[in-house]
Amino acid sequence: MSRPYVLLSAAVSLDGCLDDTGPRRLLLSGPEDFDQVDAERAASDAILVGAGTLRADRPRLLVGSARRRAERAAAGRPEFPLKVAVSGGGDLDGADPFWTTGGERLLYTTDEGARLARARLGGAAGVVALGPAVAWAALLDDLGARGVRRLMVEGGARVHTQLLQLGLADELRLAVAPLVVGEADAPRLFGPGAYPGGPRGRMRVLGTGRVGDVIVTRYAPTAPGTDAAATAADRHWLRTACELAERCPPSETAFSVGAVIVAADGAELARGHSREAGDPVVHAEEAALAKLPAGEPRLAGATVYSSLEPCARRASRPKPCARLIVDAGVRRVVTAWREPDTFVPGADGIGVLAGAGVVVAEVPELAVAAVRPNRHLVPAGTGGA
């Protein structure tokens, strides 16, 4: 069963707000952007919103353009995309325009919510009860089974946040409006929590442009299940790197780090650890890379596992490890522990890597193992140790 392609679409202020706290909906984008959103809707099989947005904004979620509707009809599609809402409690108003205007309507809810929703909505919508809770994967599976190939998600904050955090979003279309809301309690697009790619995980920019006075950027999140996420094999190799770190000659002035380079087919290409073979300054990633011939073709598909985030700056060699990794043509790094400020404050090896297009996955549950040989160099409590 194939899930639909999931496009998150939102407009935010310069301070990242989806709305202000006033009773009326804050208009963020202008007519040109609304027209593009209309085109996105027309290109979608279904449009989804959370019940919070229904209650706050009472949107209709239609395709406004008669030409686009005619084109859909000519292509044998319904005039309007399927309209999908999500509610846990089922506390919905059947008089909301969402339920009374064009398009087929579907509500995903809990077993409990379904009872209230059926009473409130009557025959205005199909009601799908997904058990004691609404699981997004199950919802997407069900939409896929209904033939939905492309799903446009129009908010609000809680819906966008969950889909992104769960790695279920394929794309984010973000319109940034040139205004500042300036209210502490205004709803933010993305809430707190863990996002794919780690706390500073970077999305890929697919394109950007000016639409009227808003700037629209399309991003591809790095989602679990795709290249960014750590797999069981990743954890195995990263654990190996952490074990290598234990073999480093002790030092008061440098971290003990282990690194393993593994080819796309799972074959180990090289390994290394800090200060190995009598070199007092060699770093783990550097030592591992040095064991491979220059231009080794398998590096392009390889992953570097390093117990510590590759260094971004170092005095002992001309190039830090993050740069060596980029220059070697490696496209993926998996690490357990971000470099603390002990020796190089503000070092951002992950930023250097990501800025060069290298996908970085973090496995924080192995941070304890990565910190262990370095306990004397970091404040107590670092890495959960």
Interface residues toward ligand NAP, by CB under 6 A? 10-11, 18-19, 25, 28, 49-53, 56-57, 86-89, 91, 133-134, 154-159, 162, 187
Q: Give Cβ neighbours of residue 323 (< 8 Å, ≥ 6 apart).
A: 352
Residue 134 interface partner, choices Zn ion, ligand NAP, none, CB cut-off 5-8 Å depending on type: ligand NAP
Q: State the minimum distance, in angstroms, from the CB of residue 132 to ligand NAP.
A: 10
Classify 171 as helix, strand or coil.
strand
- Whether 307 and 255 have beta carbons less than 8 Å apart is answered as no
What crossing angle do the helices spanning 66-74 and 31-42 adopt, rounded to 10°?
10
Q: Return d(Cα 203, Cα 357) in angstroms, integer.
A: 10
* Closest among 355, 365, 350 to 230, alpha carbons compared: 365
Q: State the minimum distance, in angstroms, from the CB of residue 292 to Zn ion.
A: 16
What are the φ and ψ backbone dihedral angles of 83, each rounded to 5 degrees? -105, 125
Q: State the minimum distance, in angstroms, from the CB of residue 143 to ligand NAP.
A: 14
Computed on alpha carbons and rounded to an integer, the radius of gyration of the chain in Å comes to 25
The binder of Zn ion chosen from 321, 325, 352, 366 (CB under 5 A)? 321
Rank residues 100 and 316 by Cβ distance to Zn ion and give the closer one. Answer: 316
Residue 53 interface partner, choices ligand NAP, Zn ion, none, CB cut-off 5-8 Å depending on type: ligand NAP
Q: State the minimum distance, in angstroms, from the CB of residue 161 to ligand NAP.
A: 8
Binding span for Zn ion by CB under 5 A among 1-9, 270-278, 304-312, 359-367 = 304-312
Rank residues 187 and 258 by Cβ distance to Zn ion and give the closer one. Answer: 258
The angle at the Cα of 5, spanning 46 to 40, to the nearest 5 degrees, equals: 50
Around Cβ 253, how many Cβ atoms within 10 Å? 9
Chain positions 277 to 296 lying near Zn ion, rule: CB under 5 A, are 283
* Closest among 195, 211, 157 to 16, alpha carbons compared: 157
Rank residues 11 and 164 by Cβ distance to ligand NAP and give the closer one. Answer: 11
Rank residues 60 and 158 by Cβ distance to ligand NAP and give the closer one. Answer: 158
Chain residues in the site for Zn ion (CB under 5 A): 283, 311, 321
